[in-house]
Amino acid sequence: MSFDFALIVDSIPKMLMGIGLTLELLFLSGILGLTLAIVLLLMRISGRWYLAAPTMVYIYIFRGTPILVQIFIIYHGLPQLDFVRESIFWPIFREPYGCAIIALTLNTGAYVSEILRGGVLGVGRDLKEAGAALGLSVRHRFMYITAPIAIRLCLPAYSNDVISLMKSTALVSTITLLDMMGIARTIVAETYAPYEVFISLMFIYLILTWIIQRTFGWTEKRLSRHVRSEA
Amino acid sequence: MEAVTGWWDDFFWGSLVVVGVFVVALVMTVLFGLIGSAAKLSKSRTAQRIAGAYTIVFRGTPEILVLLLFYFGSAIALTAIAQVFDPEVKFVDIPPFWAGSFAIALIVGSYATETFRGAFLGVDPGQVEAARALGLSNLKTFIYVRIPAMWRLALPPFGNHMLSLIKDTALISIIGLEETLFVAEQAIGTTGKPFTMFIVVGAIYLGFSTIITLSVMVLERYANRHLEVAR
């Protein structure tokens, strides 16, 4: 057993060829997931049971099962159903890329919607009452009072979820996609040098995590610039 | 659903493997979490740095990467060691059960480290000082004062860690552990019904998640039984 540095130098550029796919999956399903989460949140806090109940079931199912199983159900499972194969969405479900985006979106949407709900519930009653006293409508109160404060409150938790979404993108290598993880697995299968390849890949992922943390930390600081520190 | 008929017993044994991995990994998670948080709170700079590196690495890299690194990495190391004693040996590996449990425990343990650290810091210093004043040794203070006060605080986030742990067990099928996802893949090979089989796996995991959520609720009530505020 030896540590082959030439292999590391050789495999890092190869793995970086997959960073485009990793980032694409992260951004696309991150944005779609956030949109889904906002829709779910609005349904959940609407106060109407026929809107709130389905979102609770949805969140319960998607947070209670492994993302790997969700990816497999969508990629391997759905083609078993005739109506999926005959629908106009078949070109999306036929490709592993489309399935990966859908699975990651549905999964992150469930988690993020709970984070957003935590933020909304964290906004003080007194502020909302003040808004009501000023004669703002329910919608205006939500848009101008609740939402800006809630965004600031849930930013730290949201950044953690973006990191876990980034980590989940590595699972698409199980449905034949060649992201960084997929390329690394191919290299290991050829060279049988797991230490060199996987540890270098760990560093690449750690740098991505660090960048996400830094970006969110900076945004948080900027959004909180009006908040007086209590110290 | 009739396609599943002949496979119920296999799914049952697969579920038992999931439970086995979960229990083993849970014990290791608590252990890693306690050691990690003790190191982070210790006065030694070296221990702090090691624990810091541990949490950064395992919270920032994809679970599947850690798992594959451990499984293939340990196989290479073990084979190399075995060949020193017996050059005839071709391949030695750690059983997927142990490699997998260890890997997911390391990952979730890094999250538990942060949780436990926060919880230990949340213990009222007055209680620790009172224990000192009563002449309790460091170890006894730890066991009788710090732990009971700390686990009350750590329980809600630790419940989430347990949920991540049960969901991460699904990944171990990738390295060939015969748990539910692995059973499903075999069943698909003979029946050609991927949707049905993966839905069964999803339902099994949903059941496990529900049991864990309910148990945490019961445990929380038990942990807070002396506190009037919690009622």
Query: Tell me, what's the pLDDT at A229?
Result: 63
CA dist A167 → A109, A128, A180, A196, B106 (Å): 15, 37, 11, 20, 16
Average pLDDT, chain A: 91
CA dist B204 → B11, B24, B78, B167 (Å): 9, 19, 35, 11
Residue A168 has pLDDT above 70, yes or no: yes
Query: Tell me, what's the pLDDT at A231?
Result: 47
For B128, residues 6+ apart whose C-beta sits below 8 A from its C-beta are B141, B145, B146
Angle formed at CA B103 by CA B214 and CA A3, multiple of 5 degrees:
165
Chain A contact present for B198, CB below 8 A: yes
ipTM of the complex: 0.89
Helices (H) and strands (E) in chain A, counts: 12, 0
Query: Tell me, what's the pLDDT at B229?
Result: 59
Query: Tell me, what's the pLDDT at A11?
Result: 87
Q: Choose among A78, A163, A194: nearest Cβ to B72.
A: A194
Over residues B136-162, the mean pLDDT reads 90
Chain A contact present for B50, CB below 8 A: no
Count CB pairs under 8 A between chains A and B. Answer: 120
Closest CA to A115 of A12, A9, A216, A7: A216
CATH topology of domain A5-223: MetI-like fold (1.10.3720)
Structure tokens belonging to residue A106:
């549905």
Over residues A88-93, the mean pLDDT reads 84
Closest CA to A163 of B110, B17, B75: B110
Residues in A closer than 8 angstroms to B168, CB to CB, are 66
Query: Considering only A199-213, B1-15, B136-150, B178-192, which range has the smallest mean pLDDT?
Result: B1-15
Q: Provide the chain A residues 16-55 that lie in CB contact (below 8 A) with chain B.
A: none
Q: Provide the chain A residues 96-115 that lie in CB contact (below 8 A) with chain B.
A: none
Residue whose tokens read 């066991």: B143
Residue B70 has pLDDT above 80, yes or no: yes
Closest CA to B103 of B149, B57, B134, B137: B57
pTM, full prediction: 0.90
Chain A contact present for B200, CB below 8 A: no
Sign of CA pseudo-dihedral B102, B104, B110, B114: negative
pLDDT above 90 coverage of chain B, percent: 59
What does the radius of gyration of chain B's CA atoms come to, in whole angstroms? Answer: 21
Chain B contact present for A194, CB below 8 A: yes
Residue A49 pLDDT level (bands cut at 50, 70, 90): very high
pLDDT above 70 coverage of chain A, percent: 97
Query: Tell me, what's the pLDDT at B231?
Result: 46
What CATH superfamily is the domain B21-179? MetI-like (1.10.3720.10)
Q: Do A209 and B195 touch (CB under 8 A)?
A: no
Chain A contact present for B118, CB below 8 A: no
Q: Do A170 and B62 touch (CB under 8 A)?
A: yes
Residue ranges per structural domain of chain B: 21-179
Residue A77 has pLDDT above 80, yes or no: yes
E strands, chain A, in order: none
Structure tokens belonging to residue A81:
């159903």
Residue A112 · residue A34 · CB < 8 Å: yes
Residue B1 has pLDDT above 70, yes or no: no
